[in-house]
Structure 1
Amino acid sequence: MLRYFIEVAYKGTRYSGFQIQQNANSVQAEIGKAIKIFFREEISLTCSSRTDAGVHALSNYFHFDAAGLPEQTALNEIIYNLNSILPDDIVVKRIVEVSPTAHSRFDAVSREYQYNVYQTKDPFVADRAYYYPYKLEIDKLQEAAGVINDYTDFTSFSKRNTQVKTFNCKIIKSGWSITNNLAVYNVEANRFLRGMVRGLVGTMLKAGTGKISIDEFRGIIESKDCTKADFSVPPQGLFLLAVRYKFQI
């Protein structure tokens, strides 16, 4: 058996998350269904990263094992056919043969997310960003984003009932930028906790509007109390941008 990584992108609006689940449709369920139709057999998919209901991804991965797929020219035809079966909001970008021991989840060294906020009403970004029509001080947002680099314990930004052994995350980058009508937050880390990016964004927005000070923002991180963070920002502004590995794909 050979092992393959399959890279996908999707608009998560219609799905109850990335990973397959009972009594709700997911991105994984749609991809598994398309693969079963094309290959006429059930193929087990292992996902690299979960995303919540309504969250999007420009790049996410599965791995699967198969007896052996064709060379690249024919592989491109398989990708074309899978995309013909899949709904319009999911696309297979690549299928790549990897080492038989490669693992899409455990071999990831970092993941990068982006959260989009818009402040002037715009129907063309409403399903891909959060409408927040309040005065924001970008320097305060940027200062709060910089503060995040000083910490490793993000207990305050993990939703309750999360079964993890540690709340420690190594932040690789954290910063805001302004692009046209969007305030965009980018964060990369070796791992993320459940709800962490949305909790960070919601709490930073409070700093950006002056509802809390930067010192109070630090206090929320140091409290290790998730009731003090703001997880209220909606899912449609969140994108998984990239999953990076210790080997070349």
Structure 2
Amino acid sequence: MAIFKTQITYLCSVEDKQQRYFLEIAYDGTAYHGWQVQNNAVSVQQKLNEALHKILRSPIETIGAGRTDTGVHAKQLFVHFDYPADHIPTVSKFLHSLNALLPHDISALDLQAVEPDAHARFDATQRSYEYHIHFRKDPFLINKSWQLRDVPDVTLMNRAAQFLLGKQDFGAFSKAHTQVFTNICTVVRAEWVLQNDRLVFHITADRFLRNMVRAIVGTLLDIGLKNKNAASIVDVINSQDRAQAGTSVPAHGLYLTEVIYPYIKRS
């Protein structure tokens, strides 16, 4: 830590050329009121900005690929920030120092220099989520997966999930008053995978509306638990009415798992 600090103890001058960086992070969202900075609650972004400020000795404002709600986890999230390139040492030293300052439930995974106009939110071409469900009481899955008593009809839910594929209006699954320009999304994967006593829903799209995945999962579970017709989800989609969709499932089973950019290599 001391070696790192001696290289950046000076403040940046206004003449220093700014470099844009993409920082890859992961976090357990249990202790946080979501990703975005809030006035009266602790968020992941707040903790990250504070740690970067201490290391870089300058106020840092990060912009994330998107927001996650209270209790939602991220296996991969990218943020961008600007800082003079000559003032940051090697990536390994930077990550080591940043992880030493971050709470135990937030991890910095990688740092990449990108073009000045690269944007963590607007340049993402694809995002993937998982929703985790388990059926047997497991103390190690508390706040990491949602426990259900009854096992739904997975085959029926996968038939219904196929109606989600393609480009269409997903307003029926969106939280109201989110101030987005459009509810159109293109879903390329929607699939349930059952393994022993664990059930995981995988969904990938070019973009997601707020609360969209949790509402979709709730709607599909209604079909699988109540033996509804798989095609009934089409009526929900066409209604563009949130009241027609299922109840939003608890946040702690949801994970943002991957964000894709045209210029970031996939690990």
User: Which category describes the TM-score, using the shorter chain as reference length?
Assistant: over 0.9
Residue in structure 2 matched with residue 207 of structure 1 by the alignment: 223
Distance in 2 of aligned mates of 1:207 and 1:134: 13
Instruction: Find 2:29's aligned residue among 9, 12, 21.
Output: 12
Residue in structure 2 matched with residue 154 of structure 1 by the alignment: 170
Summarize deviations over 1:147-198 as a string: whole Å, max 9, x none: 1115511110001111111111001111110133211000010110010000
Residue in structure 2 matched with residue 59 of structure 1 by the alignment: 76
Does structure 2 retain, via aligned residues, the 8 Å contact 1:169–1:189?
A: yes
* Residue 231 of structure 1: how far off its partner (Å): 3.2
Q: CA RMSD in A?
A: 1.5
Unaligned runs of 5+ in 2: 1-17
SS of alignment partner, residue 247 of structure 1 = coil
Which 4+ stretches in 1 moved above 6 angstroms? Answer: none
Check 1:110–1:69 CA distance in 2 against 1; reply closer, same or farther (3 A cut). Answer: farther
* Residue 212 of structure 1: how far off its partner (Å): 3.0
Residue in structure 1 matched with residue 42 of structure 2 by the alignment: 25
Normalization by structure 2: what TM-score? Answer: 0.89
Amino-acid identity (%): 37
SS of alignment partner, residue 108 of structure 2 = strand
Aligned positions of 1:1-249 closer than 5 A: 1-69=18-86, 74-149=90-165, 152-210=168-226, 212-249=228-265
* Residue 75 of structure 1: how far off its partner (Å): 1.9
Equivalent residue letter for 2:217: V
Check 1:243–1:84 CA distance in 2 against 1; reply closer, same or farther (3 A cut). Answer: same
Normalization by structure 1: what TM-score? Answer: 0.95
Instruction: Give the paired residue count.
Output: 248
Unaligned runs of 5+ in 1: none
Equivalent residue letter for 1:109: T
Distance in 1 of aligned mates of 2:31 and 2:228: 34
Summarize deviations over 1:67-125 as a string: whole Å, max 9, x none: 115687x2211111110111100000011111111111111001100000111111111
Does structure 1 retain, via aligned residues, the 8 Å contact 2:29–2:71?
A: yes
